């Protein structure tokens, strides 16, 4: 039995529309805009008047992934998850399954038509090929949207520095309590900054007390352990990426509320899974944006959601899987010089291309490594910069503006969403340009995320990464723009954003040992993407 959407007053009309064989989409009664998923106000004209509008049920495949991984006990791999654009308005899309078609025959541009499948009181809109190919490109070319200009010439970013970094053991199935990992990282970071816990007056984290092996319990758990009596705290997932918790700390310091904020991020997904705590997602009702609109179609993982966009990219720009492979190979080559990285053995392009398929175009080595780890960073008032035991790292600028819909499938599908806007925003807050950057720490939850960030930040043009990578030479440790010298999340482990900040600070202090980037003075660090994201531009003081 598939997971089914929890019916509510807001969505019941949509999930029962198929009872008469017709697909209906929310339509604004005033400006006629079609809106999906349903919201209580028209995003185009802000009218509150809307009604379900019958549409033809014809659509075009604009993204797809052939899923080979058993995420849910109720779905037998392989199966095809697709993003289809409605014939009436290609900006209205549905995540769905393609049926009555062999997985290898599904393609971008294929025309499909709705076919409802009833489960209890829910009619799931699935789609089957019509046999026609849509001659029109239904996906708008991505554009670099224009951010809001800075309000003043003052930069809050310059009022704080990164003064300390620390981390716990990083590994697979450490079988250690996650709060214990957090305490290890926090004590190390405070000592690294030449401080004591009594100096710390703020705590900040991401994503707070989240479940699923993604946190130690947040500020509540950490304050119960450390008892620092902070003047300010912050924790949550609605931040500009995991690094947004550091940006929030910078704001608190700039505003004078705190002097030294201890920021931390802990994952224990590996042990969490080993303990059998993860859900197998059998039957039952699901809700929330990622639950309701994706789980009924077996689109259970960000690998599926991003894989659909990666296939749109490869189709659109004529790029090959080898482009993604250079990201994975570069990470692995760098990790061989990082004693704490989880995967350090050399990898060849053949190894990469022949790895177990996960969800097309991704194989095992396109995906980062779930692990156990905690990393902590201390944000201090800039006035202490000269008193630190190690070189201070200053923050030149941040990028945080949301310029696209926060949706995995409704807006940007040529790249990972939530990358282009934040990148553009960064460059409005500094006179530096991409050519001034010595190394890039680009979020690589999947190889395609790193490609999206490199293009989003403007190191090369949109769709130009394959040529620009130059067989990996451009991004190698001795290349024009070294990326992820520690091996990234693909090889060091999925520390979920904070690993990039740790490595950037180590590199800018010139204490990265065998993997040190020569003369590293300026580093860009990204975290998130898909979800709201954030970018930091850091410099050696
Ligand atoms: Zn309207």
pLDDT per residue, tens digit, the chain (541 aa), is: 899 999 999 999 999 999 999 999 999 999 999 999 999 999 999 999 999 999 999 999 999 999 999 999 899 999 999 999 999 999 999 999 999 999 999 999 999 999 999 999 999 999 999 999 999 999 989 988 899 999 999 999 999 999 999 999 999 999 999 999 999 999 999 999 999 999 999 999 999 998 789 999 999 999 999 999 999 999 999 999 999 999 999 999 999 999 999 999 999 999 999 998 776 555 579 998 889 999 999 999 999 999 999 999 999 999 999 999 999 999 999 999 999 999 999 999 999 999 999 999 999 999 999 999 999 999 999 999 999 999 999 999 999 999 999 999 999 999 999 999 999 999 999 999 999 999 999 999 999 999 999 999 999 999 999 999 999 999 999 999 999 999 999 999 999 999 999 999 999 999 999 999 999 999 999 999 999 999 999 999 8
φ and ψ at residue 38, rounded to 5 degrees = -60, 140
Instruction: Report the pLDDT value the prediction gives residue 290, as an integer from 0 to 100.
Output: 86
Centroid of ligand 1 to alpha carbon of 297 (angstroms): 29
φ and ψ at residue 272, rounded to 5 degrees = -55, -45
Within 13 Å and on the Cβ side, how many CA atoms surround 129? 16
Centroid of ligand 1 to alpha carbon of 13 (angstroms): 19
Report pLDDT digits (tens) over 105-151.
999 999 999 999 999 999 999 999 999 999 999 998 998 889 999 99
DSSP 476: S
Centroid of ligand 1 to alpha carbon of 57 (angstroms): 22
Centroid of ligand 1 to alpha carbon of 34 (angstroms): 8
Centroid of ligand 1 to alpha carbon of 37 (angstroms): 15
Centroid of ligand 1 to alpha carbon of 49 (angstroms): 8
Centroid of ligand 1 to alpha carbon of 47 (angstroms): 5
Q: How many helices (H) and strands (E) does the chain have?
A: 14, 21
Cα angle 461, 516, 178 (rounded to 5 degrees) comes to 90
Which of 174, 168, 182 lies closest to 271 in space, CA to CA? 174
Centroid of ligand 1 to alpha carbon of 35 (angstroms): 9
Ion ligand 1: residues, CB within 5 A, are 28, 30-31, 33, 42, 44-45, 47
Centroid of ligand 1 to alpha carbon of 84 (angstroms): 23
Nearest 10 degrees: CA dihedral of 363, 364, 370, 376?
-70
Instruction: Report the pLDDT value the prediction gives residue 464, as an integer from 0 to 100.
Output: 98
Instruction: Report the pLDDT value the prediction gives residue 258, as an integer from 0 to 100.
Output: 98
φ and ψ at residue 414, rounded to 5 degrees = -85, -20
Centroid of ligand 1 to alpha carbon of 50 (angstroms): 8
Centroid of ligand 1 to alpha carbon of 51 (angstroms): 11
Instruction: Report the pLDDT value the prediction gives residue 280, as an integer from 0 to 100.
Output: 53
Centroid of ligand 1 to alpha carbon of 290 (angstroms): 25
Is the distance from CB of 249 to CB of 219 less than 8 angstroms? Answer: no
Instruction: Report the pLDDT value the prediction gives residue 283, as an integer from 0 to 100.
Output: 59
Centroid of ligand 1 to alpha carbon of 86 (angstroms): 18
Instruction: Report the pLDDT value the prediction gives residue 200, as an integer from 0 to 100.
Output: 98
Centroid of ligand 1 to alpha carbon of 33 (angstroms): 5
Report pLDDT digits (tens) over 469-523.
999 999 999 999 999 999 999 999 999 999 999 999 999 999 999 999 999 999 9
């Amino acid at each position: 039995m598939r997971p089914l959407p929890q019916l509510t007053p807001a969505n019941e009309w949509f999930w029962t529309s198929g009872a008469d064989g017709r697909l209906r989409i929310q339509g604004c009664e005033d400006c006629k805009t079609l809106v999906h998923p349903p919201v209580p106000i028209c995003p185009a004209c802000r009218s509150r008047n809307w009604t379900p509008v019958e549409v033809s049920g014809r659509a075009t495949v604009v993204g797809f992934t052939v899923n080979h991984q058993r995420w849910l006990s109720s779905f037998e791999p392989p199966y095809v998850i697709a993003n289809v654009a409605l014939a009436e308005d290609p900006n209205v899309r549905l995540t769905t399954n393609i049926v009555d078609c062999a997985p290898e025959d599904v393609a971008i541009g294929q025309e499909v038509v709705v076919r409802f499948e009833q489960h209890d009181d829910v009619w799931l809109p699935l789609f089957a090929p019509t046999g026609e190919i849509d001659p029109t490109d239904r996906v708008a070319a991505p554009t670099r949207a224009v951010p809001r200009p800075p309000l003043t010439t003052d930069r809050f970013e310059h009022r704080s520095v990164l003064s300390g970094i620390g981390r716990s053991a990083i590994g697979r199935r450490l079988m250690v309590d996650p709060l214990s990992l957090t305490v290890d990282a926090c004590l190390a970071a405070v000592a690294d900054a030449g401080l004591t816990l009594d100096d710390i007056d703020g705590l900040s984290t991401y994503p707070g007390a989240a479940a699923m092996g993604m946190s130690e319990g947040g500020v509540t758990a950490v304050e119960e352990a450390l008892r620092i009596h902070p003047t300010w705290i912050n924790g949550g997932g609605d931040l500009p990426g995991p690094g947004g918790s550091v940006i929030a700390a910078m704001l608190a310091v700039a505003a004078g509320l705190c002097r030294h904020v201890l920021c931390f991020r802990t994952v224990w997904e590996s042990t969490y899974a080993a303990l059998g705590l993860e859900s197998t997602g059998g039957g039952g009702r699901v809700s929330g944006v990622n639950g309701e609109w994706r789980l009924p179609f077996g689109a259970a993982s960000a690998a599926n959601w991003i894989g659909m966009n990666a296939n749109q990219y490869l189709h659109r720009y004529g790029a090959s899987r080898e482009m993604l492979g250079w990201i994975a190979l570069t990470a692995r080559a760098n990790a061989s010089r990082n004693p704490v990285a989880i995967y350090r053995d050399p990898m060849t392009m053949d190894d990469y291309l022949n790895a177990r398929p996960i969800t097309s175009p991704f194989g095992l080595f396109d995906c980062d490594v779930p692990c156990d780890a905690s990393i902590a960073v201390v944000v201090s008032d800039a006035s202490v910069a000269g008193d630190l035991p190690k070189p201070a790292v200053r923050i030149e600028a941040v990028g945080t503006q949301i310029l696209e819909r926060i949706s995995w499938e409704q807006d940007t599908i040529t790249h990972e969403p939530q990358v282009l806007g934040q990148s553009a925003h960064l460059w409005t807050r500094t006179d530096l340009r991409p050519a001034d950057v010595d190394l890039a720490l680009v979020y690589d939850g999947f190889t395609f995320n790193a490609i999206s960030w490199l293009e989003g930040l403007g190191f090369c043009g949109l769709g130009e990464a394959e040529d620009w990578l130059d067989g990996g030479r451009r991004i190698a440790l001795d290349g024009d723009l070294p990326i992820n010298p520690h091996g990234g999340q693909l090889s060091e482990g999925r520390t979920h954003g904070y690993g990039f900040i740790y490595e950037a600070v180590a590199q800018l202090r010139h204490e990265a040992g065998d993997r040190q980037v020569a003369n590293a003075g300026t580093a860009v660090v990204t975290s998130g993407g898909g979800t709201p994201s954030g970018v930091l531009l850091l410099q050696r003081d």
